[in-house]
Amino acid sequence: MKFFIDTANLNEIKEAQSLGILDGVTTNPSLMAKEGITGKDNILKHYVAICNIVEGEVSAEVNAIDYEGMVKEGEELAELHNQIVVKLPMTKEGIKACKYFSDRGIKTNVTLVFSAGQALLAAKAGATFVSPFVGRLDDISTDGLNLIEEIREIYDNYGFETQILAASVRHTMHIVNCAKIGADVMTGPLSAILGLLKHPLTDIGLAQFIADFEKGNKK
């Protein structure tokens, strides 16, 4: 399972990268705005800065909602760095743009996916990644993990190479459960990733080891 971090905060990206387990980054206009990154030139420079920190894919989202606009923005994003993945919305125009880019060898991430049918269309259009939003489905009392399972079954039935990128991951158990049901990638906050480190018995055991060592090695 690949681990992506969902943020535009360079310090968080650096911390995740320092762990040695980071495979990529996802961002969106909301995350950019949260970090105070505004204006086209500043946003493009920020994408390059992220690519210079990580070794894997960096999803950069188009803002256009029309086909021509998506193609224009996507081509500009793809030219920034070879790690850039063009992030497109799950719309009719987005699917058309996905096919355009996949035919030209440009990686894509189809986002805002909330049904298995949408994921099927994205795969048919040659998407590199499809991003079902687990947490947002949970927010409306719908089982987000069930959607991951449905997509996994469909993709396995037909041998689609599109990777299932579990998005809107909110906490550590989302990561574990997505791994259990076969998501190829997860993207979430640093806190959820760091949460995988934690277990009370690990803390207790380590404290005991340290105490025993110090007791046996007193001068």
Catalytic residues: 87
Q: If residue 185 lies in a helix (H) or strand (E), which one and from where to where? A: strand 185-188
Is residue 51 within 8 Å of residue 81, measured between CB atoms? yes
3-state SS, 12-45, equals HHHHHHHCCCCCEEECCHHHHHHCCCCCHHHHHH
Smallest CA-to-CA distance from 57 within 85, 81, 36, 79 is with: 85
Please tell me the distance from the alpha carbon of residue 17 to that of residue 13, in angstroms, as a whole number: 6
Please tell me the distance from the alpha carbon of residue 64 to that of residue 178, in angstroms, as a whole number: 31
- Residues in CB range of 54: below 8 A, 6 or more apart: 13, 17, 22, 24, 25, 83
